Structure 1
Amino acid sequence: MADHHHLHRSTKNRNGFYVKMKFFRTKNGKPEKPFFVKHFKWILWFSLSFYFFAKFLNNHESSTNNNSLKTSIINHSHRALSESILQKPKTSHGLLNDLKVYIYELPSKYNTDWLSNDRCRNHLFASEVAIHRALTKSDFRTFDPMEADFFFVPVYVSCNFSTVNGFPAIGHARALLSSAVELISSELPFWKRSNGSDHVFVASHDYGACFHAMEDRAIADGIPEFMKNSIILQTFGVKYNHPCQNVEHIVIPPYISPEKVQSTLLKSPIDGQRDIFVFFRGKMEVHPKNVSGRFYSKRVRTEILRKYGNDRRFYLKRHRFAGYQSEIVRSVFCLCPLGWAPWSPRLVESVALGCVPVIIADGIRLPFESAVPWSEISLTVREADVAKLGGVLDYVAATNLSAIQRNLWDRKLRQSLLFHDDVESGDATWQVLVALSRKLGRSHRRLRVSSE
């Protein structure tokens, strides 16, 4: 600062004279102030006037049509302009083909009103909340629907907890989603433009967009007609033909709190002592639960309890325990048998806490198979072979267990199955975006550009 001041004041120093010439022009031998300095008052007055006028228009639009999706586009256009001036992009979109997602601003009854119950953001179906929350703050979000590749419809349908048993009740799901689609298609042109094919929903339930926990009822009800052209992010996935996955879909993991996982690993490191050989905690009826003729877990869990209930190598518990992650991190093998549906949150918890998942669910399709090398970090046992489970695990423990654990304990695998508040490179929401970037053939924007 002192050197600059000296140069500015000196009239004899050539460098000082050069600096003066650079910033002050002369007229009739006298220094002339630059344009910005001369007209500073007028520039300031114009800028302030424009700011208050734009603010007035924005507030006026909001007060006259508060629930309008069209109004939200206007408001977001102002916001996007100001943010583009004030901030630089935080991440490169190049890795995901410059993917852009528009998020509908639906009335709160479709999503945030449900968050009054804290369980809504933390239970196993909460990926519908986590993905919405992460995308909202993501650099991949666009406020201009004309430049969007995909349109995200944020409707939470798993937060209506039954007062009888405390489980999510999703009987209202179809009506709520139908109402949301009716709203977005009547207010804006983008749904009708593609018949919903570039629109994305989350269906993080037992049988995805069939919205029922019982398979035969789910199949009978089927996927709602209005969702059949869209992309469904769903936890349900199988390798055989099934009516509940007969739609363009991406298999995602169930939600497990990354904060809880981190807390568990701080107390017990992933490569620490594992004194439990085989672990399972959950529902295991001695007699299969029978609801109108539908058998729970296809008797697999019952057979595990019958065969290994008195085997000291097997740590089998039937009752809930809030700190059960402390048991997983102590275990070598974690059983992941099917329940009502093939998938289970135990799969994610096992990987995240370094316990080798033992998957017992015939034909299951696992989440993010292109990113997670499931065959190198887990074991698969057929439902019919559950009685041979002890021998299978003894053999693996004596042969290639160390290699499996080495692969399993890679931090990148844990990252890829967990949803965070913000999109993090390689995390579960990032993997969703990667999967969407492979479906850009559905993007109206890309088709328009390629045809021009």
Structure 2
Amino acid sequence: MAEQKRPPNRRGFYVKMKLLHKHARPQQEKSCFFKYYKWVLWFSLSLYFFTSYLISNNPNGKPTSLHKTRVPNAKSSVVSRALFQSINVTAPEQITSTQGILKHLKVFVYDLPPKYNTDWLSNVRCNNHLFASEVAIHRALLTSDVRTFDPYEADYFFVPVYVSCNFSTVNGFPAIGHARSLIASAVQLFSSQYPFWNRSQGSDHIFVASHDFGACFHTLEDVAIADGIPEFLKNSIILQTFGVQYKHPCQEAENVVIPPYVSPESVRSTLERAPVTGRRDIWVFFRGKMEVHPKNVSGRFYSKQVRTVIWREFNGDRRFYLRRQRFAGYQSEIARSVFCLCPLGWAPWSPRLVESVALGCVPVIIADGIRLPFPSAVRWPEISLTVAEKDVGKLAKILEDVAATNLSSIQRNLWDPRTRRALLFNNHVQEGDATWQVLRALSEKLDRSYRSSRVSRQLVIDT
């Protein structure tokens, strides 16, 4: 592949264009001396304020880009401004430092028109439903110090396209039939304006696929498998909630398994009322869809009949607190529970995994072959129980044995605040939180970065 040449003196070009755009005079001054005097005065003041900005915001003395790189002809002059201003207004001192293993990682966030992201925020659910990690990661990156405004120094390129915020008016669930065309449109836009996608064939570009079967973009597994991952995404990195330990067409791209989104504010509010070490008067808890008849209207077996078995076998057991109706305050029930059932639904993962851990309830994972997020940070075998789908009818006996043996040890491990932190997305990256864990995982895949690969090759040549 031909080497992409870096435009010379691009910083000077950016500065020149910005100054001409903002400060060009509509009419020429009659007096040459007066015109010269104004420009000298303006340039001096600008240099003073610009230097002050660099000193105060760049203590390490590294040159900093002056402004966001924009997609030419985009409808929005400043991408993500609505997102930044509405939910992510940040003072300079709030921008989190990511020292250590993330110190040299650089991520460029594409400046896409708002139809790809911020327009969807008009529906408040877009910010906080279980698929909202696509929004959370975007807004956290905007103020993270791994972000670079210079795409030529970037290791990775983040593509902020929200595909799970198109809620069906019929049932209120996300309708993601538009996902493939929306993402394809975004790729076409920035690849036609910039060289970065084409030079690496997208291998250093990052997308979020936070719904049931990830980058297959369908909620039913058989249809998702038939559709597969779009060809243009197969060389990229997918951040997805879907993950299994066996071969599956919906993870046939480089991927990082991430947790589903749970509002950290809601968790904090619940913990203020009921701390994790507080009294727990519910032995086994589950609230959610449990079908009395295994086949639903689609003709498919929901949850592979696991939830139906749970309802049939244990609804009459007073130790099992099972509820099929929705309840807005269900997190308070989790905080009162010893064991929280986390059975598969259509897909193996569930937001209950995060809520149980965050609220100190031992997650009982019933989803064969599930691949869990951030195993290097979350010691899943030490904080949870795994029950095979075929053994769901033996739940009572299994949990009795655990309660009589090592429950206290599991709870001590579970209540470590670092575990909770690793599964929650914050508005700003905090060391150890979910976005930080994503960046850590990306730092281990730098062989996919065009820039990092070039630097490595150059070091080999030099030595």
| Alignment TM class, shorter chain as reference | 0.7 to 0.9
Are 2:306 and 1:300 aligned? yes
| Same amino acid, percent of matched pairs | 73
Aligned length: 393
Give the counterpart of 1:67 among 50, 66, 74. Answer: 74
Give the superposition deviation at 1:67: 1.4
Point out 4+ residue stretches in structure 1 off by more than 4 angstroms.
41-46, 49-52, 86-90
Match in the other structure for 1:77: none
Are 2:267 and 1:267 aligned? no
- Report the secondary structure of 2:424's partner residue: coil
Residue type of the alignment partner of 2:186: A
CA distance in 1, matches of 2:73, 2:164: 27
- Report the secondary structure of 2:425's partner residue: coil
CA distance in 2, matches of 1:328, 1:402: 18
Q: 1:268 to 1:127 in 2, by over 3 A?
A: same
- Report the secondary structure of 1:181's partner residue: helix
Give the counterpart of 1:192 among 190, 198, 203. Answer: 198
Gaps of 5+ in 1: 1-40, 53-57, 74-85
Q: Is the 8 A contact 1:351 1:414 kept in 2?
A: yes
Give the counterpart of 1:48 among 24, 45, 50. Answer: 45
CA distance in 2, matches of 1:349, 1:333: 12
Match in the other structure for 2:25: none
Are 2:246 and 1:240 aligned? yes
Q: 1:161 to 1:184 in 2, by over 3 A?
A: same
Residue type of the alignment partner of 2:441: A
Give the counterpart of 1:448 among 428, 431, 454. Answer: 454
Residue type of the alignment partner of 2:348: P
Match in the other structure for 2:97: 91
Q: Is the 8 A contact 2:291 2:308 kept in 1?
A: yes
- Report the secondary structure of 1:359's partner residue: strand
Match in the other structure for 1:361: 367
Give the counterpart of 1:131 among 134, 137, 149. Answer: 137
Give the superposition deviation at 1:88: 12
Gaps of 5+ in 2: 1-37, 50-65, 80-91, 459-463
CA distance in 2, matches of 1:65, 1:351: 45
Are 2:420 and 1:382 aligned? no
Residue type of the alignment partner of 1:305: W
Match in the other structure for 2:147: 141
Match in the other structure for 1:34: none
Give the superposition deviation at 1:311: 0.2
Write out per-residue CA displacement over residues 126-181 of structure 1, whole angstroms, 9 at most, x where no aligned residue: 00000000001100000000000000000000000000000000000000000001
Match in the other structure for 2:88: none
Q: 1:428 to 1:181 in 2, by over 3 A?
A: same
Residue type of the alignment partner of 1:47: S
CA distance in 1, matches of 2:321, 2:46: 72
CA distance in 2, matches of 1:349, 1:87: 30
Q: 1:45 to 1:386 in 2, by over 3 A?
A: closer
Q: Is the 8 A contact 2:424 2:434 kept in 1?
A: yes
Write out per-residue CA displacement over residues 33-58 of structure 1, whole angstroms, 9 at most, x where no aligned residue: xxxxxxxx998564137699xxxxx9
CA distance in 2, matches of 1:98, 1:67: 30
TM-score (norm 1): 0.83
CA distance in 1, matches of 2:165, 2:257: 21
Write out per-residue CA displacement over residues 77-136 of structure 1, whole angstroms, 9 at most, x where no aligned residue: xxxxxxxxx999852443225110000000000000000000001000000000000001
CA distance in 2, matches of 1:190, 1:275: 56
Residue type of the alignment partner of 1:152: F
Q: 1:289 to 1:50 in 2, by over 3 A?
A: same
